[in-house]
């Protein structure tokens, strides 16, 4: 079954067990991954700057694993489940049996990720957009800049006067908007920025 079918809102309604099987498999694969040097460098930035917000589209949890705190995960996290009825969220471990029913209300649980055909959680996007509108410096790291509305966050930052820096192996639709484009892998470039004075 194609990825965009099994990871869709329609499949949650049609066959939630198949969705869980897919995401349980993905958690097993992701549990072996470790953060790269960019993840660790960004976690250090949080300790270096009094005001720092980290927003990610990734659902892999690697920023948290690297030590980042209060990460705004606009597409959710593969390491959480969410109740279909009351919205309660519960953490998951790679080797942990998941709840099939909500400990709070008894209804069915689903992976807490944004699936194809779903909107971003408004609370996460609003927090991210507010941070973008208030920042002085915005780094955009390792994204295709094609997935909206998350791709609009650097545009919001630029509109409000932020200096926008892109770090990516290749140019994106966002590159011309940026004040600076650093071409290369995040794991190589971002740690170098820690060695310079930001």
pLDDT recorded at residue 145: 86
Q: Of 97, 113, 129, which one is at a domain's C-terminal end?
A: 113
Q: Which CATH number characterizes residue 168's domain?
A: 3.40.50.1220
pLDDT recorded at residue 133: 98
Residues 178 and 109 occupy one common structural domain: no
Residues 135 and 184 occupy one common structural domain: yes
Residues 106 and 171 occupy one common structural domain: no
pTM for the structure as a whole: 0.88
Query: Is 39 known to be catalytic?
Result: no
Residues 90 and 186 occupy one common structural domain: no
Residues 138 and 128 occupy one common structural domain: yes
pLDDT recorded at residue 16: 92
Residues 173 and 100 occupy one common structural domain: no
Residues 134 and 174 occupy one common structural domain: yes
Angle at 95 between CA 93 and CA 98, to 5 degrees: 65
pLDDT recorded at residue 119: 87
pLDDT recorded at residue 6: 67
Q: Which residue ranges in the chain fall short of pLDDT 50?
A: 3, 198
Expressed in percent and rounded to 5, the helix, strand and coil fractions of the chain are 40, 20, 40
pLDDT recorded at residue 194: 78
Q: Which CATH number characterizes residue 100's domain?
A: 3.30.1600.10
Residues 81 and 66 occupy one common structural domain: no
pLDDT recorded at residue 10: 83
User: What's the half-sphere exposure (Cβ side, CA atoms, 13 Å) at 177?
Assistant: 22
Domain residue limits at 101: 1-32+76-113
Phi, psi of 87 (to 5 degrees): 80, 5
User: Could you give the angle at which helices 186-194 and 37-48 cross, rounded to 10 degrees?
Assistant: 30
**Per-residue model confidence as pLDDT tens digits over 64-78:** 999 999 999 999 999
In Å, the largest CA–CA distance within the chain is 53
3-state SS assignment for residue 128: helix
pLDDT recorded at residue 112: 94
Q: What is the 3-state secondary structure (H, E, C) of 34-63?
A: CCCHHHHHHHHHHHHCCCCCCEECCCCCHH
pLDDT recorded at residue 39: 97
**Per-residue model confidence as pLDDT tens digits over 151-171:** 999 999 999 999 999 999 999
Catalytic member of 39, 75, 159, 160 = 75
8 Å CB contact between 37 and 190? yes
pLDDT recorded at residue 94: 61
């Amino acid at each position: 079954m194609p990825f965009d079918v099994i990871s869709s809102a329609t499949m949650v309604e049609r066959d939630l067990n198949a969705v869980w099987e897919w995401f349980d498999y993905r958690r097993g694969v992701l549990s072996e991954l470790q953060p790269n040097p960019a993840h660790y460098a960004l976690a250090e930035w949080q300790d270096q700057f009094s005001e720092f917000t980290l927003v990610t589209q990734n659902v892999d949890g690697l920023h948290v694993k690297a030590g980042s705190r209060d990460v705004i995960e606009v597409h959710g996290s593969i390491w959480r489940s969410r109740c279909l009825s009351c919205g309660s969220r519960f953490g998951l471990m790679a080797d942990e049996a998941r709840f099939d029913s909500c400990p709070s209300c008894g209804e069915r649980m689903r992976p807490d990720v944004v699936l194809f055909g779903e909107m971003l959680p408004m609370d996460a996007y609003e927090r991210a957009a507010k941070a973008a509108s208030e920042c002085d410096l915005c780094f955009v790291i390792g994204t295709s800049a094609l997935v909206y509305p998350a791709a609009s966050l650097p545009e919001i930052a630029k509109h409000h006067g932020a200096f926008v820096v892109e770090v990516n192996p290749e140019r994106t639709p966002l590159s011309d908007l940026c004040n600076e484009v650093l071409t290369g892998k995040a794991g190589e470039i971002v740690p170098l920025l820690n060695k310079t004075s930001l």
